[in-house]
Amino acid sequence: MIRKGFFYLILALCFFANSNAFAYQFRDYSWGTPRKTVEENLLNEKRELSQEQYAMHYNENIFGSDCEVVFLFTLSGQLLCAVNLIWDNTDIGPKLKEDLTKKYGEPVKFNAYTEEYTWPGSSDYDKLTLDYNYGDTRLEYYGGDYFKEYQKNLTNLFSAKNGYGPKNPPREPHIIMELDGGRPYGGYRRR
């Protein structure tokens, strides 16, 4: 009886550890890392950074092609909540999809007409998306609850700035634009 209970305890711990340990992340950056820490790490790597109110970006050669790497931070606390990789062409998209599929399994395709894929994580806000449709390739890592907070705060700022409130909500919150630079909040667009 004790042996059986011990077995189930070990099995439950293994399942719990695996389900919580799985999260998509870019390199060794953990979600919720303070902006200052990310900045110091990148400067130690001799990266030339461009900074905006809620984002930090630099250029790097990734998968053999020039890429813009964008770190997004929560509005309150300035904690890492998403990382976007943007290439100027769609050529790298199929190779990325192949590599990511080998690593994470088959993705969910948004629809039959576009090359947009997602590898779901433990929640709607913890996922990896790949899009290579419109002249560029975007690989986006979303950081779970930190990204959820980012979207919620951005929606509130947008609403306050544009006169929306509980009695007058925005009609299409999925089109809400980031305040600094007018970029879509779900993905960072190249200037």
DSSP sequence for 4-51: HHHHHHHHHHHHHHHHHH----STTPPTT-BHHHHHHHHHHTT---EE
Q: Which pLDDT score, from 0 to 100, does residue 161 have?
A: 66
Residue 16 lies in a domain: yes
Nearest residue to 100 via CA among 121, 123, 68, 128: 128
pLDDT tens-digit readout, 81-90: 999 999 999 9
On whether the pTM is more than 0.85, the answer is no
Query: Do the beta carbons of residue 128 and residue 84 sit within 8 Å?
Result: no
Q: Which pLDDT score, from 0 to 100, does residue 54 have?
A: 86
Residue 184 lies in a domain: no
Residue 44 lies in a domain: yes
Angle at 147 between CA 185 and CA 68, to 5 degrees: 55
Structurally, the chain folds into a number of domains equal to 1
Q: 10 Å Cβ neighbour count for 88? A: 14
Distance between CA atoms of 164 and 78, rounded to whole angstroms? 25
Residue 186 lies in a domain: no
Query: Do the beta carbons of residue 181 and residue 52 sit within 8 Å?
Result: yes
* pLDDT band at residue 17 using 50, 70 and 90 as cut-offs: very low
Distance between CA atoms of 170 and 104, rounded to whole angstroms? 36
Between 173 and 52, name the one with better pLDDT: 52
Between 106 and 187, name the one with better pLDDT: 106
Residue 128 lies in a domain: yes
Residue 21 lies in a domain: yes
Query: Do the beta carbons of residue 73 and residue 79 sit within 8 Å?
Result: yes
Range of the domain at 145: 2-175
Residue 189 lies in a domain: no
Residue 87 lies in a domain: yes
pLDDT tens-digit readout, 135-187: 899 999 988 889 888 888 877 776 666 665 555 555 544 334 444 344 444 44
